[in-house]
């Protein structure tokens, strides 16, 4: 996969798929005690690589509407399934109460709108640009105070359930996404903004510093003691920083590959692994 010119976009994506599968094997089968923690250590590099490629795709795609719809529709599908686990699909929840909460495409959906706003601002279309940037970022506050809280105060359970369904599917909130969420949106903004620099590697260095800073701040806010045990066996999100090595090998070329593969592999492998985990759980428990 590595050649004299470095790594293409497809090379990065295929590597990210391998890292993601390792991470999700640990995620779905950790309860067995048989999957080594290093699966998830390596898996920390998957999300940053997909994020990097997603921002690159936004910059270079010839049809942003089509690109957005692919991401958005799959995110709605997965969001509705996640909502279902809380309600109609509750019998399918694994015996220990676990069910998949993978929502990276919802994070990318929000990020796409924000990036389009940043691009409009760059084109001096300030009003639409500011709206596209600000609305997705402040939407969680709007939904909480004007929708969720009134339903809670009124004891309107039906309204609350409907609002939850909407926020997990057609109108995702970055603060409510367990997989990616606010941090992913902010990191994507950093990658896009600094991609306007003449030296394209600057965005990678800035992203690395920002990511490291975010992880440090998160540990401080959670009151986590940053000892060796915590950093390697509990709060090891910081290991995503190692993806910078592969990002710096990017040669700026799209490369050859099957784009449709990535759109369908993500949800397919999640539910296949989850189904297998239910079978394994039933066997060993």
Indicate the domain borders of the chain: 9-284
Cβ(83)–Cβ(42) below 8 Å: no
Q: 152: which DSSP letter?
A: H
Residue ranges with strand state E in the chain:
none
Q: Cα(100)–Cα(273) distance, rounded to whole angstroms? A: 10
First CA to last CA distance, the chain:
41
Cβ(214)–Cβ(184) below 8 Å: no
Which residue is listed with tokens 């090379």? 11
Sign (positive or negative) of CA dihedral 23, 25, 30, 34: negative
Q: Cα(276)–Cα(29) distance, rounded to whole angstroms? A: 9
pTM: 0.94
Q: Cα(121)–Cα(255) distance, rounded to whole angstroms? A: 30
73-96 pLDDT per residue, tens? 999 999 999 999 998 898 999 999
Cβ(5)–Cβ(250) below 8 Å: no
Helices 259-284 & 9-29, crossing angle to 10 degrees?
A: 10
- Please choose, from the candidates 185, 184, 187, 180, the residue with its C-alpha nearest in 3D space to the C-alpha of residue 203: 187
Q: Cα(160)–Cα(153) distance, rounded to whole angstroms? A: 10
Mind listing the pLDDT tens digit of every residue in the chain (285 residues)?
Answer: 444 589 999 999 999 999 999 999 999 999 999 999 999 999 999 999 999 999 999 999 999 999 999 999 999 999 999 999 998 898 999 999 999 999 999 999 999 999 999 999 999 999 999 999 999 999 999 999 999 999 999 999 999 999 999 999 999 999 999 889 999 999 999 999 999 998 989 999 999 999 999 988 888 888 888 888 888 888 899 999 999 999 999 999 999 999 889 999 999 999 999 999 999 999 998
Residue 157's alpha-carbon distances to 84, 152, 160, in angstroms, are: 16, 7, 5
What is the predicted pLDDT for the residue at 2?
44
Q: Cα(75)–Cα(168) distance, rounded to whole angstroms? A: 9
- Please choose, from the candidates 255, 191, 202, 175, the residue with its C-alpha nearest in 3D space to the C-alpha of residue 6: 255
| Cα 79 off chain centre by | 13
Cβ(285)–Cβ(38) below 8 Å: no
């Amino acid at each position: 996969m590595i050649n004299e010119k470095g790594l293409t976009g497809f090379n990065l994506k295929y590597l990210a798929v391998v890292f993601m599968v390792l991470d999700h094997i640990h995620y779905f089968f950790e309860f067995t005690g048989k999957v080594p923690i290093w699966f998830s250590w390596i898996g920390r590099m998957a999300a940053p690589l997909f994020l990097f490629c997603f921002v690159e795709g936004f910059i270079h795609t010839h049809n942003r509407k089509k690109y957005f719809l692919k991401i958005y529709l799959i995110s709605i599908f997965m969001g509705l399934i996640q909502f279902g686990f809380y309600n109609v699909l509750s019998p399918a929840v694994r015996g220990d109460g676990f069910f998949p909460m993978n929502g990276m495409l919802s994070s990318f959906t929000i990020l796409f709108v924000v990036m389009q706003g940043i691009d409009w601002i760059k084109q001096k279309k300030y009003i639409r640009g500011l709206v596209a940037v600000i609305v997705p970022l402040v939407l969680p506050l709007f939904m909480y105070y004007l929708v969720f809280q009134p339903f809670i105060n009124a004891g309107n359970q039906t309204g609350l359930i409907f609002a939850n369904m909407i926020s997990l599917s057609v109108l995702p909130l970055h603060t409510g996404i367990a997989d990616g969420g606010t941090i992913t949106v902010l990191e994507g903004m950093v990658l896009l903004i600094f991609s306007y620099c003449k030296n394209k590697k600057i965005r990678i260095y800035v992203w690395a510093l920002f990511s490291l800073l975010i992880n440090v701040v998160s540990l401080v806010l959670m009151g986590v003691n940053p000892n060796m045990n915590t950093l390697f066996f509990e709060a090891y999100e910081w290991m995503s920083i190692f993806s910078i090595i592969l990002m710096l090998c990017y040669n700026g070329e799209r490369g050859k590959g099957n784009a449709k593969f990535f759109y369908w592999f993500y949800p397919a492998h999640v539910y296949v692994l989850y189904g297998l985990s239910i079978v394994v759980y039933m066997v060993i428990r």
